[in-house]
Amino acid sequence: MSQQISIPIPGNTLKECKMNIKSNKNHAFTSYLSCSHKILLIILLLLAMIILAVVPWIYYSMQHEIENKRDGENNEELFSSSGIDELDNVCSTLICKQSALHILNNMDESVEPCDDFYNFACGNFLNTTTIPDDSGSVDIFTMMNHELQKQLKNSLEELILPDEPKSFKNAKIFYKSCMDTAMIEQRGLEPFKKILKYLGGWPVIEDENWNETDFTWIESVYKCHEIGYSDSYFLNFGITPDVKNTTKLVIELDQASFKQKEFFITNENDEIDSLKRTNDSHNTFKKLYNDYMFDIAVMLGAPKNNKTMNQLEEAHEFKRALNNISLSEEERHNATELYNPMTVADLSIKHSSIPWKKYLNTIFAPNVTIDDDEIVIVAVPSYITKFEELINKTSKRTLANYVIWRVIEDSIYFLSENISDRQLNLLKDLSGISKREPRWKMCIEKVSMLPSVQAMYIKKYFDKNAKRNIGEMVGDIRNQLNKTLHENDWMDNETKKNALDKANAMLSCIAYPDELLNDEKLKEIHEESLEFHDDKFMENILAIKLLITKETYNSFRNPFNRSDWMNHINVAVVNAFYNHIENSIELPAGILQGFIFNNHRPRYMNYGAIGTIIGHEVTHGFDDQGRQFDKDGHLENWWTPITDEEYRCKTECMIDQYSNYTVEEIDMEINGLNTLDENIADNGGFKLAYLAYKDWSERNGEEPTLPGLKFNPRQLFWITAANVWCRKVRNEIARDDIKNDIHSPGKFRVIGSFSNSESFANDFNCKEKSKMNPKNKCTLW
């Protein structure tokens, strides 16, 4: 997990329990029983029937009892003598039985753990899990997200109460408008066509009636901004803490923003990638997308002819050209190279074809004024130069067709069903996803951006005690980070002191900010200023987007407080984050549930799951990007040359290690450079969580094991940690992940990190030079 990642596609993979019962295969057993024996057998059968009838009630009672204990009991209380088999020291509580069942369902014990620990821990999951037709993959996170979405759905479908806050009412009205597909179909495409008209019209539709004298690309940006659409289709302006002075916000100018990197829009020097390599080519995929654009255009009223197709192809080529002048993620690794301050006046001189002062004042209006002396941080100066050249040689018709198509791309989900169906047909060809997810899930995704919805989730579903317990784990893991840094033998004293200062200054945002439960504080976010209508989904969604944009720009002159979590609140999400500029980790409430965390199970499971995620996030502060920032989030080189060289040498080992891994199902190698930061965080995260659990266990004594599993607590830590990354994925998605994702596939997150760990090898008695215990290991932290 990184500063910004997204996870989420649902599916339940828990299978029916498979009991390994040894039976006496004497098929004639009952034929030799005496009469008294038969009577006894009948009595035993009746008793068995009574027991079977009572079991469900017992199960419910246990579950109810556990729920009643959620007011702060720790594991020592839960695992009292009533929940432990004293003879074998095995935990027999309901939670432990469920946990054991989960692990057993995932595990393939026929695999030797020292040969392939991932398939040992996840093999049965991979063999028995079916990916739903509406999903690209299934894993722990998608299943947790599914449960979270269902909880939000239940809250939003409750009746609107007269005395509840207006922001809560608004959220329910918004959700209702999204779910009202009959009204969306009744309104048809006319409301959206009015938006296209307001934006200057779409040449593809208006053909010869379109008047280019009324169009400039800059005016199109202004108009998109005014009604709630993105203003970053050409240039990406934003506000961010100044990495040289993080108490102050600054304007940042970056290359165009694309929601996702399309697989067929590759840089000119890249190997052409495709999601279906067999017998398919770059041109085939380009045609698929151009046909998609053409069909959508015709649905919106464009003539069905070659001229329409030609215009769309030109717009798509312009989009590809923007990508070709942009820096790739690999090229954006050095934060210093992305920090190029210029005044507005300097920009106006160097790139005179763009009216920068007017541009910025229009976007920031009416509450912020920008003058010539305003500093702008230009992330990619070469992009601005090449963009200016590209714009000046591109026709107005192509620019207009491009920007309107970007608007359409951002609008598909609130248009009519036939347009959504056409998008699904494209997805079938590209990703193997053959079914749309249920409407309610999309509606939850859109409405959950509102702080009020996140407050609903916390108030109704989140166990408040988890916040305190997670805080204790964070403290334990950060203590291990300090020990690791202090005992480090390759850093000199000066660099080590700076590293320890940074570790001690790191902030932890756990579960949710307390202000989220304060209705008066929610009013300050201005959400209540919105007026939603239950029959106008399109207008509602644009109103939310416009409010968020205005709030962002209006905050520009405010001082930045890195400890204020309300600056970027999103707690109803199954993810975790590290923020370089704030030097903070964020563990939202949405991830503190399910298999990742439970207050009432053994600590080795919690340290193996959420503990490794916590360790992952704190290690991001010292990955190849994080290490470029100091304790206050300033872009500052705090490494002495000799220690810097040692660091680079160690990361080269890791780059080589992961670059040698191949995903056999798709015959693609991992890019060890692209995934370096996440691999560093994985290796550090597993190590820190393990050391924290080991320390906890030494203080509190060895915990009971899980029923039906022949593993000790430390082994169960590693098994739990591996289970977090059990993932079944479509080949089409896997190929795209290898190309674009900064994370290694789940299998190699486990194998790569565990094979670097002496502790893992010792706990499973892996022989030296076995696959999971190679002689040469890559270690950094």
DSSP 555-619: TTTSPP-TT-GGGG---SSS--EEETTTTEEEEEGGGSSTTT--TTS-HHHHIIIIIHHHHHHHH
Q: Is 415 exposed, middle or buried (0-12, 13-18, 19+ CB in 10 A)?
A: buried
Q: Give the pLDDT band (50/70/90) at residue 529.
A: confident
Question: Quick check: 263 pLDDT over 60?
Answer: no
**CA gap 657, 412 in Å, rounded:** 42
pLDDT score for 62: 39
Higher pLDDT, 49 or 661: 661
Question: What tens digit of pLDDT does each residue of 169-226 get?
Answer: 999 999 999 999 999 999 999 999 999 999 999 999 999 999 999 899 999 999 999 9
Nearest to 148 by CA among 628, 589, 606, 538: 589
Q: Give the pLDDT band (50/70/90) at residue 530.
A: confident
Q: Give the pLDDT band (50/70/90) at residue 234.
A: very high
SS3 288: helix
> What's the pTM?
0.85
Q: Give the pLDDT band (50/70/90) at residue 528.
A: low
* Contact indicator for 754, 774 with CB cutoff of 8 Å: no
**CA gap 438, 351 in Å, rounded:** 48
Ramachandran bin of 621, using left for φ above 0, alpha for ψ from -120 to 50, beta for the remaining angles: alpha
Look at strands 662-663 and 90-91 and give their pairing. Answer: unpaired
Nearest to 778 by CA among 586, 650, 664: 650
Question: Quick check: 32 pLDDT over 80?
Answer: no
Q: Is 24 exposed, middle or buried (0-12, 13-18, 19+ CB in 10 A)?
A: exposed
Query: Residues of the chain with pLDDT > 70: what percent?
Result: 85
pLDDT score for 708: 94
* Active-site residue (options: 231, 410, 586, 682): 682
* Contact indicator for 462, 511 with CB cutoff of 8 Å: yes
Question: What tens digit of pLDDT does each residue of 572-609 get?
Answer: 999 999 999 999 999 999 999 999 999 999 999 999 99
Length of the chain: 781
**CA gap 591, 630 in Å, rounded:** 28
Which of 61-65, 184-188, 281-285 has the weakest average pLDDT? Answer: 61-65
SS3 270: coil
* Contact indicator for 697, 713 with CB cutoff of 8 Å: yes
**Long-range CB contacts for residues 353-356, cutoff 8 Å, separation at least 24:** 353/388, 353/391, 353/392, 354/218, 354/388, 355/218
pLDDT score for 214: 87
Question: Quick check: 66 pLDDT over 80?
Answer: no
Q: Give the pLDDT band (50/70/90) at residue 282.
A: low
Q: Give the pLDDT band (50/70/90) at residue 346.
A: very high
E strand spans, 92-208? 137-139
- For the record, the structure tokens of 294 come out as 């053409």
Question: Quick check: 526 pLDDT over 60?
Answer: yes
**CA gap 781, 778 in Å, rounded:** 10
Nearest to 610 by CA among 712, 493, 757, 473: 473
- The whole-number average pLDDT for the span 682-707 is 97
Per CATH, the homologous superfamily of domain 232-415 is Neutral endopeptidase , domain2 (1.10.1380.10)
Count the Cβ atoms, other than its own, within 10 Å of residue 276: 18
Helix (H) or strand (E) holding 398: helix 396-409
Token pair 């007269």 is found at 162
Question: What tens digit of pLDDT does each residue of 469-496 get?
Answer: 999 999 999 999 999 999 999 999 999 9
pLDDT score for 421: 94
SS3 content of the chain, % helix, strand, coil (to 5): 55, 5, 35
In eight-state DSSP terms, residue 699 is: H
**CA gap 725, 686 in Å, rounded:** 12
Higher pLDDT, 434 or 401: 401
* Active-site residue (options: 582, 617, 624, 677): 617
Helix (H) or strand (E) holding 377: strand 375-378
Q: Give the pLDDT band (50/70/90) at residue 449.
A: confident
* Contact indicator for 675, 743 with CB cutoff of 8 Å: yes
Strand partners, 728: 138
**Long-range CB contacts for residues 71-76, cutoff 8 Å, separation at least 24:** 71/465, 72/465, 72/468, 73/599, 73/600, 74/469, 75/599, 75/600, 75/601, 75/602, 75/603, 75/703, 76/700
**CA gap 29, 550 in Å, rounded:** 80
Question: What tens digit of pLDDT does each residue of 81-94 get?
Answer: 335 454 469 999 99
Contacts of 84 (CB under 8 A, 6+ apart): 90, 91, 92, 704
pLDDT score for 624: 95
Higher pLDDT, 591 or 517: 591
Which of 172-176, 219-223, 271-275, 522-526 has the weakest average pLDDT? Answer: 271-275
* Contact indicator for 750, 722 with CB cutoff of 8 Å: yes
- Is residue 682 among the annotated active site residues? yes
* Contact indicator for 719, 608 with CB cutoff of 8 Å: yes
- For the record, the structure tokens of 273 come out as 């990638």
Strand order in the sheet with 375-378: 235-242, 245-255, 375-378, 341-343
Question: Quick check: 80 pLDDT over 60?
Answer: no
**CA gap 715, 764 in Å, rounded:** 7
Count of alpha carbons within 13 angstroms of residue 148, beta-carbon side = 31
Look at strands 577-579 and 584-588 and give their pairing. Answer: antiparallel
Q: Give the pLDDT band (50/70/90) at residue 283.
A: confident
**CA gap 683, 778 in Å, rounded:** 9
pLDDT score for 11: 31
Question: Quick check: 56 pLDDT over 50?
Answer: no
Count the Cβ atoms, other than its own, within 10 Å of residue 364: 20
pLDDT averaged over every residue in the chain: 86
Query: Residues of the chain with pLDDT > 90: what percent?
Result: 77
**CA gap 460, 438 in Å, rounded:** 23
* Contact indicator for 453, 171 with CB cutoff of 8 Å: yes
- The whole-number average pLDDT for the span 33-49 is 37
**CA gap 502, 239 in Å, rounded:** 25
pLDDT score for 517: 87
